[in-house]
Structure 1
Amino acid sequence: MAIATINPTTGVTEQTFEPHDAAEIERRIALADAAYRALRLTSFTQRAEWMRAAADLIEQEVDDVARLLTLEMGKPLAQAKGETLKCAKNMRFYADNAEGFLAYEALENPAAVNASRAGARYEPLGVVLAVMPWNYPLWQVVRFAAPALMAGNTGLLKHASNVPQSALYLGSLFERAGFPDGSFATLLIGSAEVEAVLDDWRVKAVTLTGSEPAGRSVASIAGRNIKKAVLELGGSDPFIVMPSADLEKAVATAVTARTQNNGQSCIAAKRFIVHTEIYDAFTRLFTEQMAALVIGDPFDAATQVGPLATKSGRDDLAELVDDARMNGASILTGGTTPDGAGWFYPPTVIADLHDGMRLVLEEAFGPVATLYRADTREEAARIANQTTFGLSSALWTTDADDEQFFVDELDAGAVFINGMTVSYPELPFGGIKDSGYGRELAAAGIREFCNLKTVWKA
């Protein structure tokens, strides 16, 4: 895949970039390794000063940065601004909390281990490779970069090939904020070059957000090299609605949860599992509101759903819908690829699914919602857990027993009750099963790429 900005609204190639050659890749790895040896010796106070400066820069540049995100991957401009400002919030969160998260952990009773003093300390690992997707071009990267840099690690970014300008912006941001040269550098390379970079002895670990196949590939390389990996992969998150739910709020939130970021979010609700008592009412309201969404130019303030980021992504989504249609599913709204420029796909609602359809088990990465009827909470949990994914989930109920049942039973990295899944700096984020392993954000996120070193003194 060429490294290029291709406007998804028009299909026009705006700018292409030459990939880095072997010499430039080597130069950047060497620079990152040297920067690590300097950065690890700096204080948390100094790193926090630089991190807050990076947050200031991204806030000052929010309008230009948001336009860049919308140009490269098509999200509505207001959402692009929200993503940019969320990055600044995350930077400040780790600037404020990194030292506490990584504080020395003293054993309260060292005599129990025959010591006068004992405990554990967190130390950075070194250069960490980040392999990142296009759907949140800044946020996906910053939620790794902020804690990694605050811990004293350095980063190499292999971004998706269709967001090179976003990648280059991030590659310069932290240096402009004051971090040592090479602390966070972008590699303009294709997927085929990832293996050689991860094989390099100076690269100590890897984090990847992306597809399940990409995760399997990177995990196998990391495993061969005995290097730490954190994987945040696909999701087919359930959105469960029980009879006691506030139906109007549940429907309105469901529409947002399915169509945010033009439906291209790993943690977007994708499968809507509704108790039979309210299924018909939910389906009617949900379908009406999905059909009423405004599709168009993401730079237009009236637009609620823009284009998909790539032509191949739209083609893949259309294939899933067509497979369901051919196998007897009911298309309640949408479901047809529009004519004209750009990679648009309408908000789509599908019902009457069965096990022979790809949509039942595969991730729909776009504004396509699938509806399931459940007669009992046990059946709802079974449907929710039937995919190989386990990223997040949402539950709508005011019944305390139902709430506890689903918190206990759902196979997921998170359960959001009476709301949609959102990533917060304060809460750990990640999945189980084929959705990956490891955690980002909160204290867990900064500790992933640290050596927990035991210290014992007689």
Structure 2
Amino acid sequence: MAIATVNPSTGETVKVFEALTDEAIDSKLTLAQQAFEQHRHTSFAQRTEWLHRAAQLLVDEKERFGKIMTLEMGKPIAAAIAEVEKSAWVCRYYADQAESILADVPIETDASRSFVRYQPLGVILAVMPWNFPFWQVFRFAAPALMAGNVGVLKHASNVPQSALAIEEIFRRAGFPEGVFQTLLIRADQVPQIVADERVKAATLTGSEAAGASLGSAAGKQIKKTVLELGGSDPFIVMASADLETAVKTAVTARMINNGQSCIAAKRFIVHDAIADEFAERLVHQYAALKLGDPLDPQTDIGPLATSTILNELHQQVQACIASGAKLLTGGDPDTVPTRSIPSLQHGTFYPPTILTDLPSDSPARQEEFFGPVALLFRVPDLDSAIQLANSTPFGLGASAWTQIETERERLINEIEAGSVFINGMVKSDPRLPFGGIKRSGYGRELGAEGIREFVNIKTVWIK
């Protein structure tokens, strides 16, 4: 895949970049290692000052950065600007909290004094996806740099301008040269970087295949990794739920980022007693969503990021219908209104789609649908809801709706996921650890747990 900005709304190739040569990669890793030897000794006060400046740059130029994201991967402009603001939030959180989170932890033992000290590891490689081009990077970089590490970024090939803009932000904020660098490289160049002795650990957000590849390469070098992979998050609605709020939230939870989010609600598991009404309301609200130019503030859903994603999603939908699933709305990209707009007729738009009555042996029950497609299931009771929720290989997040205390406790305890949100949609928050289990990955980002992933947890014993 070329490293290029291709506007998914129009299909136009905006700008093409050359991948770094092996010699250029080596030079950048040398610079990163040299930067680490200095950065590890800077004070928390100095890092805090730099990171607060980065946050302010994000806020001051949020419209500019938002437009870069929308141009490269198609998210609605309002969502892009909100993503920039959230990136500023994570910078401020770690700027203010890192020192206390990483303070020495005293422990009573047979020593005169013993404690745990957290120290940086060195150069950390981040392999990041296109769907949240700024947020995914900043939620890694803010804690990593505050801990005293330095970062090198291999961003997705379709968001190179976002990647370069992020490097620019850290440089303008005052971080010394080499503390954060963007590497415009191909995927097949990643293993050589993982194998380089100057790189001490790696983190990846992306597909199962990408995670398995990076995890395998790092495992051969005995290097720490954090992986945040796919999800097929359940959205469980029991009979006691506030149905109006649940349906409204269901639309937002599925359509966030044009449906291209690992933690988007994808499987709607609804109690029989309210399933008909839930489906009727969901179809009605889907019909009101506006597809169109993502730079138009009135647009609800923009294009999918690439034509490959569009084709794969449509194949999944068609396979479901062929297996016996019922199509409630959408399902045909040739019917989207953007087809009649000359400037958008080549855009990768997919209509909001709802499928139900999926056969129990349908492969779709085990797959992640990365786009505006909802899978609707009916269940007779809580046992069936939990069993269905846990029936996929994924375990990222889950949303559940009930007013009954005993149901709430069972859902919290029995759903196999890295997070469970009761009466709310799954979302990431700098204050809370984020990550999954099963094939959704391992390790955590954000919160205190996130900043401690890439440090040496050193035991100190003094007599």
TM-score interval w.r.t. the shorter chain? Answer: over 0.9
Matched, 1:154 2:150: yes
When the two chains are superposed, the root-mean-square deviation of aligned CA atoms in Å is: 0.7
Match of 1:12 in 2: 12
- Could you tell me how far apart the structure 2 residues matched to 1:26 and 1:356 are? 50
Q: Secondary structure at the match of 2:116?
A: strand
Cα deviation 1:247-290 (Å, max 9, x = unaligned): 00000000000001000000000000000010000010011111
Match of 1:436 in 2: 441
Match of 1:57 in 2: 57
- Could you tell me how far apart the structure 2 residues matched to 1:171 and 1:207 are? 17
Q: Contact 1:320–1:358 (CA<8 Å) still a contact in 2?
A: no
Matched, 1:295 2:291: yes
Q: Secondary structure at the match of 1:302?
A: coil
2:352 to 347, 350, 356: 347
1:368 to 364, 373, 376: 373
Match of 2:431 in 1: 426
Which AA in structure 2 matches 1:165? Q
1:455 to 452, 455, 460: 460
Question: What is the correspondence of 1:323-402 to structure 2 with a 5 Å cutoff?
Answer: 323-338=319-334, 339=339, 340-402=345-407
Question: What is the correspondence of 1:76-155 to structure 2 with a 5 Å cutoff?
Answer: 76-107=76-107, 109-110=108-109, 114-155=110-151
Match of 2:342 in 1: none
Which AA in structure 2 matches 1:244? S
Cα deviation 1:313-359 (Å, max 9, x = unaligned): 01110010000011110010000122531000000000000233232
Cα deviation 1:406-457 (Å, max 9, x = unaligned): 1011000000011101100000000000000000000000000000000001
Displacement after TM superposition at 1:22 (Å): 1.0
Match of 1:313 in 2: 309
Displacement after TM superposition at 1:310 (Å): 0.5
Determine what percentage of the aligned residue pairs are the same residue: 56
Which AA in structure 2 matches 1:343? T
Match of 1:71 in 2: 71
Normalised TM-score (structure 2): 0.97
- Structure 2 residues not aligned, in runs of 5+: 340-344
- Structure 1 residues not aligned, in runs of 5+: none
Match of 1:281 in 2: 277
1:177 to 173, 193, 204: 173
Cα deviation 1:198-252 (Å, max 9, x = unaligned): 0000000000000001000100011110000000000000000001100000000
Which AA in structure 2 matches 1:235? G
Displacement after TM superposition at 1:133 (Å): 0.2
Which AA in structure 2 matches 1:106? P
Displacement after TM superposition at 1:140 (Å): 0.4
Match of 1:224 in 2: 220
1:271 to 241, 263, 267: 267
- Could you tell me how far apart the structure 2 residues matched to 1:412 and 1:354 are? 24
Displacement after TM superposition at 1:302 (Å): 1.2
Q: Contact 1:172–1:185 (CA<8 Å) still a contact in 2?
A: no
Normalised TM-score (structure 1): 0.98
Q: Secondary structure at the match of 1:415?
A: strand
- Could you tell me how far apart the structure 2 residues matched to 1:173 and 1:153 are? 17
- Could you tell me how far apart the structure 2 residues matched to 1:346 and 1:358 are? 22
1:237 to 228, 233, 239: 233
- Could you tell me how far apart the structure 2 residues matched to 1:173 and 1:302 are? 29
Q: Secondary structure at the match of 2:419?
A: coil
- Could you tell me how far apart the structure 2 residues matched to 1:244 and 1:34 are? 59
Displacement after TM superposition at 1:58 (Å): 1.1
Q: Secondary structure at the match of 1:393?
A: strand
Cα deviation 1:113-139 (Å, max 9, x = unaligned): x21000110000000000000000000
The list of structure 1 runs, each at least 4 consecutive aligned residues, that deviate by more than 4 angstroms after superposition, is none
Q: Secondary structure at the match of 2:333?
A: coil
Q: Contact 1:158–1:188 (CA<8 Å) still a contact in 2?
A: yes
- Could you tell me how far apart the structure 2 residues matched to 1:27 and 1:139 are? 27
